[in-house]
Amino acid sequence: MNRILKTSAIAAIAVSFAGETFALEWNVSLWGKRRAFTEHVEKLAELVSDRTGGEFTLNISYGGLSNNRENLDGISIGAFEMAQFCAGYHRDKNPSITVLELPFLGVDDLNVERSLSMALYGHPAVVEDLARWNATLLMPSPMPQYNIIGLGDAPRELEDFEGLSVRATGGIGVAMETLGAVPTSMSATEVRQALDSGVVKAVAFAPHAHMSFGTVENARWWTTNLNPGTVNCPVVVNTDALNALSDEHFEALMGSVDEALDHYVANYENNTMAKWGPLLDDKEIERITYSKEDLAAFRAAVAEPAAQAWIAENDARGLPAQELFDFVQELLAERAGVDDGSLKSLDPVEGLPEELQEKDTQ
């Protein structure tokens, strides 16, 4: 009798579990602290949880899962399911998307940066490039043009950058080198210590990062309009984990990307930039503005040689580098010909590999 009762109880438990949907948790590797740069990931987590009734959650960690320069490696081995990284941290690992880090591309709006990135992420050569790391690009982290903050004597003329040690990655580093500066690549979390210790005398960041990583605390000057470029910092997911999602969870994730990016852009424009000017005033940081003539000469000296060098280097890697560069230029030309300055939008699902597009997202 006892054996019969036990068997019946086990069967009943099995039936009850069979009708349940078990909760799914993805680990997300970020760094630093919550800031404008991570608001789209925070919003994505909120939306995904709401849309699945809490069945699918994103567990966000700021530095607890990986070093920021190793996030792509962690994705490749499935150490976590989602991560953010910056292309310039390891250009050899993701050369295809570094085209968006070329100096003076002419991207001067967060929504244009967003649309341009999403379009490039769907290019077959980019999908193949990231597939080497079992990674699927999910969404960008659009940022405005970088500018330089620094200690000591301000570079009032562009020639004054000669010999100045500057933290600058990607195409911004190329631009700084053209001015005679000495660019140094380091992750954002290392910058404050490097600046305070004198390892570098200046730092290229977007405003939110200058605030988040404390470079404003001892800085004496800020360039208002150097605008040498920006960096591309995507959010990626482990492709195997993405493939394993149920249709419901896949739809909740992909269907939340646009709203998360809307939130990110609005927050950056309405909150971060509103605080930046008053902070410079409060810290008595001098604003350095260069003449149109100097900036035009700077662009002429940097943009075309940097683009040609990028194409030659990545052709040698086996990438269709000229095609990728032309693809970006064509999108920007399209934007220049549209009255509202926008770029055609891309459904997040359209940028995915074909096998993922076939998931039922209706």
Give 359's pLDDT tier (boundaries 50, 70, 90).
low
Query: What pLDDT is stored for residue 165 in this prediction?
Result: 96
Q: Classify residue 222 by its DSSP letter.
A: E
Query: What pLDDT is stored for residue 15 in this prediction?
Result: 40
Q: Are 97 and 113 a contacting pair, CB within 8 Å?
A: no
Reported as a single tens digit per residue, the pLDDT across 184-218 is 988 888 999 999 999 999 999 989 889 989 999 99
User: Which domains are seen in the chain, by residue range?
Assistant: 23-142+231-277+318-357 (3.40.190.170), 147-229+281-303 (3.40.190.10)
Give 334's pLDDT tier (boundaries 50, 70, 90).
confident
Using N-to-C axis directions, what is the helix angle for 39-51 and 257-267, rounded to 10°?
A: 140
Rounded to a whole number, what is the distance in angstroms from the first to the last CA of the chain? 50
Q: Find the mean pLDDT for residues 261-276.
A: 93
Rounded CA-CA distance 333/292 in Å is 22
Query: What mean pLDDT is reported for the chain?
Result: 88
Q: Find the mean pLDDT for residues 309-330.
A: 96
Strand bridging mode 182-184 / 165-167: parallel
Query: What pLDDT is stored for residue 338 in this prediction?
Result: 52
The residue with greater pLDDT, 174 or 62, is: 62
Query: What pLDDT is stored for residue 8 in this prediction?
Result: 46
pTM above 0.95, yes or no: no
Find all residues with CB under 8 Å of 318, minimum gap 6, and list them. none
> CB-based burial of residue 293 (10 Å sphere; 0-12 exposed, 13-18 middle, 19+ buried)?
exposed
Rounded CA-CA distance 300/317 in Å is 27
Q: Classify residue 255 by its DSSP letter.
A: T
Q: Are 97 and 121 a contacting pair, CB within 8 Å?
A: yes
Residue with tokens 């929504």: 111
DSSP string over 259-327: HHHHHHHHHIIIIIHHHHHHHHHHTTPEEE---HHHHHHHHHHHHHHHHHHHHHHHHHTT--HHHHHHH
| 3-state class percentages of the chain: helix first, strand second, coil last, to nearest 5 | 55, 15, 35
Rounded CA-CA distance 247/244 in Å is 9
Query: What pLDDT is stored for residue 362 in this prediction?
Result: 35
Q: Classify residue 221 by its DSSP letter.
A: E
Query: What pLDDT is stored for residue 139 in this prediction?
Result: 98
Rounded CA-CA distance 11/136 in Å is 41
Q: Are 241 and 29 a contacting pair, CB within 8 Å?
A: no
Residue with tokens 């990583």: 213
Percentage of the chain exceeding pLDDT 70: 86
Q: Are 75 and 236 a contacting pair, CB within 8 Å?
A: yes
Which amino acid would we find at residue 53?
A: G
Give 49's pLDDT tier (boundaries 50, 70, 90).
very high
Which amino acid would we find at residue 307?
A: A
Give 171's pLDDT tier (boundaries 50, 70, 90).
confident
Query: What pLDDT is stored for residue 4 in this prediction?
Result: 43
Query: What pLDDT is stored for residue 311 in this prediction?
Result: 97
- Tokens linked to 360: 């039922």
Residue with tokens 């646009």: 258
Q: Is the pLDDT of residue 227 over 80?
A: yes
Reported as a single tens digit per residue, the pLDDT across 94-138 is 999 999 999 999 888 899 999 999 999 999 999 999 999 999 999
Q: Are 293 and 88 a contacting pair, CB within 8 Å?
A: no
Query: What pLDDT is stored for residue 21 in this prediction?
Result: 54
